[in-house]
A and B are shown apart, each in its own frame.
Chain A
Amino acid sequence: QKEVEQNSGPLSVPEGAIASLNCTYSDRGSQSFFWYRQYSGKSPELIMFIYSNGDKEDGRFTAQLNKASQYVSLLIRDSQPSDSATYLCAVTSGTYKYIFGTGTRLKVLA
């Protein structure tokens, strides 16, 4: 069964620190990788996507992909209390579908 694994947390970091969120996946055929942020009681919001090995930066967010190790990560620099949320990792499975991890809860302490 194809799986996406995330540490459920909570991951607690002080304000201004770097938060590092990790995700591993089992399907070597996965081509696209996504990070969603989900605030409590709200729907997931797409924050980053990455298709190629290496790093991709967007503002305070950096996604990192290593297909050989089947590993995706999300770094959040200068973490703010407003970053406190659950972060979901998703990978494509076939043409139309995703497999989601169960999410990592991040707490940024003021």
Chain B
Amino acid sequence: SQTIHQWPATLVQPVGSPLSLECTVEGTSNPNLYWYRQAAGRGLQLLFYSVGIGQISSEVPQNLSASRPQDRQFILSSKKLLLSDSGFYLCAWSGGTSGRSDTQYFGPGTRLTVL
């Protein structure tokens, strides 16, 4: 079966500090990977998606970036956090060798608070 991990689970960071969130998927190969942000009381906003190693598509202009250094690893980064970066960050996967490309499954999420 497939499993998706995210860490850390919670994070409190000062404004202007860097950020690195990691997501890994087990039990499938060549998945599509996604980063979403959910602000308090808001819907899910797609930030980035990746269909393969080194292939990143950005959905919204912002001070965040994403990388996919390995097939099942997806990293979300920032050089300098803003207050508006606070939220619940969710990684998701679809497709690969174990699923339909149109069905997304979410990891447990990272709750980020920027102070």
* B90:A96 contact, CB within 8 angstroms: no
* A101:B103 contact, CB within 8 angstroms: no
Interface membership of chain A positions 49-73, coded 1 if the CB is closer than 8 angstroms to chain B and 0 otherwise: 1000000000000000000000000
Judged by a CB distance under 8 angstroms, whether A45 is at the interface is yes
* B108:A43 contact, CB within 8 angstroms: yes
Chain B positions within 8 Å of A98 at CB level: 46, 104
A-side interface residues toward B, CB under 8 Å? 31-32, 34, 36, 41-46, 49, 88, 90, 92, 95-98, 100-103
For residue A102, which residue of chain B has the nearest CB? B43
Chain B positions within 8 Å of A92 at CB level: 102
Q: How large is the interface on B (under 10, 10 to 19, 20 to 34, 35 or more residues)?
A: 20 to 34
- Counted as pairs of residues, one from A and one from B, with CB atoms less than 8 Å apart, the total is 44
* B90:A43 contact, CB within 8 angstroms: yes
Q: How far is the CA of A96 from the CA of B104 in the complex (A)?
A: 9
Q: How far is the CA of A44 from the CA of B90 in the complex (A)?
A: 9
Say yes or no: A97-B44 contact (C-beta < 8 A), given A43-B90, A43-B108, A44-B90.
Answer: no
Judged by a CB distance under 8 angstroms, whether B24 is at the interface is no
Q: How far is the CA of A67 from the CA of B85 in the complex (A)?
A: 36
Judged by a CB distance under 8 angstroms, whether B86 is at the interface is no
Chain A positions within 8 Å of B102 at CB level: 31-32, 92, 95
Chain A positions within 8 Å of B94 at CB level: 96
Chain A positions within 8 Å of B44 at CB level: 44, 88, 100
Judged by a CB distance under 8 angstroms, whether B75 is at the interface is no
Nearest 6 pairs between A and B by C-beta?
Answer: A102-B43, A100-B44, A43-B106, A32-B102, A43-B109, A44-B106
Q: How far is the CA of A96 from the CA of B108 in the complex (A)?
A: 21
